[in-house]
């Protein structure tokens, strides 16, 4: 295993620039695509590693309470204390944290334009590769999975969807949208288009736009991350309109 190098000043500055909200209990960040949430390989630092920039004087640093795929951008939440981590962990387990994603899919709007996808998934491992597949409900490895989607904008070649996963299976949104014939652009694993409107799609066009949750100190919070420039550029090439979250 390649040892990790200490975070560089540029990496720490990047993470500081990603902060959407910070208080004594939590930190919400707008994770850039290409940065692994946890467990990066090859000596590369993950977001979890870079949270050292927020360490307290006693050396304790925040820890992520959930993950995003490496090529997914958007809101991700870290707890600054053990009680906050326990509080949020319980709400994630009880499916009480509401997540909303933006996804650019092809070819055009799904039919129906809004709906629910409730199809079980199972984990598949082939060598070092791990991915998900839809499967029958009675499969011994079946995991229940439910996603709700709504079409926000569409053209002849693509559509912009708002997707809310009720369950949190690995690759859930990616597999569910591919299952209804609308794979996410930039997702070759599940059949996504790599070119839209004559423009190369640089990465998975999936963005975690918002998180709504009970705050450990009381009250409800909603954190919003507007989509990054590459996402907006692909949407524009596909003639899709993006409105602020």
- Asked if the structure places residue 54 within a domain, the reply is yes
pLDDT of residue 161: 98
Residues whose CB is less than 8 angstroms from the CB of residue 60 and which lie 6 or more positions away in sequence, other chains included: none
pLDDT of residue 6: 84
Mean pLDDT of the residues in the chain: 94
Length of the chain: 245
- Asked if the structure places residue 61 within a domain, the reply is yes
Residue 72 belongs to what domain range? 9-237
* Rounded distance between C-alpha atoms, residue 36 and residue 87, angstroms: 24
- Binned at pLDDT 50, 70 and 90, residue 1 comes out as low
Nearest to 80 by CA among 64, 96, 99, 58: 64
Nearest to 228 by CA among 21, 18, 67, 46: 18
DSSP type of residue 235: H
159-165/98-105 β-pairing:
antiparallel
- Asked if the structure places residue 214 within a domain, the reply is yes
* Rounded distance between C-alpha atoms, residue 21 and residue 133, angstroms: 35
The long-range contacts involving 122-131, CB below 8 angstroms and separated by at least 24 positions, are: 123/170, 130/170, 131/171, 131/189
Instruction: Give the mean model confidence (pLDDT) for residues 55-67.
Output: 89
- Asked if the structure places residue 114 within a domain, the reply is yes
Instruction: Give the mean model confidence (pLDDT) for residues 32-41.
Output: 88
Structure tokens belonging to residue 111: 């039919």
pLDDT of residue 2: 63
Instruction: Give the mean model confidence (pLDDT) for residues 21-34.
Output: 96
The structure tokens 């409105």 sit at: 243
**pLDDT at residue 43 is higher than 90:** no
Instruction: Give the mean model confidence (pLDDT) for residues 17-43.
Output: 91
The structure tokens 């500055």 sit at: 13
> How crowded is residue 158: how many other Cβ atoms within 10 Å of its Cβ?
26
Torsion, Cα 138 144 150 155, to 10 degrees, reads -60
- Asked if the structure places residue 117 within a domain, the reply is yes
pLDDT of residue 22: 95
**pLDDT one-digit tens code per residue, 157-181:** 999 999 999 999 999 999 999 999 9
Higher pLDDT, 80 or 127: 80
Nearest to 104 by CA among 72, 76, 126: 72
**pLDDT at residue 186 is higher than 80:** yes
**pLDDT at residue 89 is higher than 70:** yes
CB burial readout 83-105, b (16+ within 10 A) else e: ebbebbeeeeeeeebebbbbbbb
CATH number of the domain residue 193 falls in:
3.30.2350.10
Q: Which residues are tagged catalytic?
A: 69
- Asked if the structure places residue 4 within a domain, the reply is no
> How crowded is residue 112: how many other Cβ atoms within 10 Å of its Cβ?
10
- Asked if the structure places residue 3 within a domain, the reply is no
Structure tokens belonging to residue 232: 């907006």
- Binned at pLDDT 50, 70 and 90, residue 3 comes out as low
Higher pLDDT, 57 or 234: 234
Per the structure, the count of domains in the chain is: 1
pLDDT of residue 4: 72
Using an 8 Å Cβ cutoff, are 220 and 212 in contact? yes
């Amino acid at each position: 295993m390649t040892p990790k190098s200490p975070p560089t000043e540029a990496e720490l500055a990047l993470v500081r620039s990603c902060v959407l909200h910070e208080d004594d209990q939590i930190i919400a960040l707008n994770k850039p695509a290409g940065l692994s949430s946890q467990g990066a390989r090859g000596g590369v630092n993950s977001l979890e590693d870079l949270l050292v920039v927020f360490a307290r004087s006693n050396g304790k640093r925040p820890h992520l309470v959930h993950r995003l795929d490496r090529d997914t951008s958007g809101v991700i939440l870290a707890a600054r204390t053990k009680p906050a981590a326990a509080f949020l962990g319980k709400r994630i387990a009880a499916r009480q944290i509401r997540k909303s994603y933006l996804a650019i899919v092809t070819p055009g709007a799904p039919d129906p334009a809004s709906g629910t996808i409730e199809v079980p998934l199972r984990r598949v491992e082939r060598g070092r590769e791990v991915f998900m597949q839809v499967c029958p409900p009675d499969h011994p490895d079946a995991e229940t999975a439910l996603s709700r989607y709504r079409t926000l904008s569409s053209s002849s070649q693509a559509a912009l969807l708002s997707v809310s996963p009720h369950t949190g299976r690995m690759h859930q949104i990616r597999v569910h949208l591919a299952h209804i014939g609308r794979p996410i652009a930039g997702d070759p694993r599940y059949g996504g288009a790599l070119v839209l409107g004559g423009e190369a799609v640089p990465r998975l066009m999936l963005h975690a736009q918002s998180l709504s949750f009970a705050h450990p100190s009381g009250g409800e919070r909603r954190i919003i991350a507007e989509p990054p420039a590459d996402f907006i550029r692909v949407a524009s090439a596909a003639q899709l309109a993006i409105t602020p979250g």
